[in-house]
Amino acid sequence: MTIEKTASGVFALEARSQLAPKERQILILSNGARSLADMVDIFGKDCVPLLKKLEQAGLLRGVSQTPPPAPVVAVPSNAAEGPKRAKNRSLAACKIYLIDLLQLQQNEEAIQVVHSLRQSDEPHSILELILVALNLILERSGERYVERVANRVFEIVPDEQLNMFIRLTQQLHIPILDLVARPYVGLLAEAPAPA
């Protein structure tokens, strides 16, 4: 079951009624395409009470009918696992993901990055813009949020561009992004060299 805005939710957004920034972000992303698990991935576990509150206020529907996301249980493993990688990886997916998030930022700088991302089709430029977007999200939303966003980006950057993306990330010297990139450096080091 997906979560979507009610007519009252749409009106509350359009009227710019007294919503907290996080409530606005949740309403914007509640477009009938995301489940409760998706929202938890984006906003963290602490968004569940807020989603329920918005549903009780009549601004959202689909929260109560959705089973809560299953808790993540660590499974011990003898072999060290590499970083998580998405099955379908593409720069287009990275662009779409970041454009969605930047539209929540509601400032001129974010709008400019969205425009540039939409116009860009060269891999190096896209990767640089992704890093500009991550830095902007870090400045506006903090380390905890940007860490989740950066992890997702690293999961969906295609293998062909992963090496370049890691290098560009390391050149920025932003500690939280370096931390997210570190496991992928090891992944590349373990990859067999071309014959």
Domain segments of the chain as ranges: 2-61, 91-190
- Given pLDDT bands bounded at 50, 70 and 90, which one contains residue 130? very high
Q: Tell me if 68 sits within 8 A of 36, measured CB to CB.
A: yes
Q: What is the pLDDT of residues 151-183, one digit of tens each?
A: 999 999 998 999 999 999 988 888 889 899 988
Its pTM surpasses 0.85:
no
Q: What is the pLDDT of residues 68-121, one digit of tens each?
A: 555 544 444 444 566 788 888 999 999 999 999 998 877 888 899 999 999 999
- Return the biggest CA–CA distance within the chain: 62
Say what the pLDDT of residue 85 is.
86
Return d(Cα 45, Cα 49) in angstroms, integer.
9
Q: What is the pLDDT of residues 5-40, one digit of tens each?
A: 888 888 887 777 678 878 888 887 888 878 888 888
C-alpha distances (whole Å) from 23 to each of 48, 52, 134, 135 are 11, 11, 21, 23
Q: How far is CA 176 from the centre of its chain?
A: 15
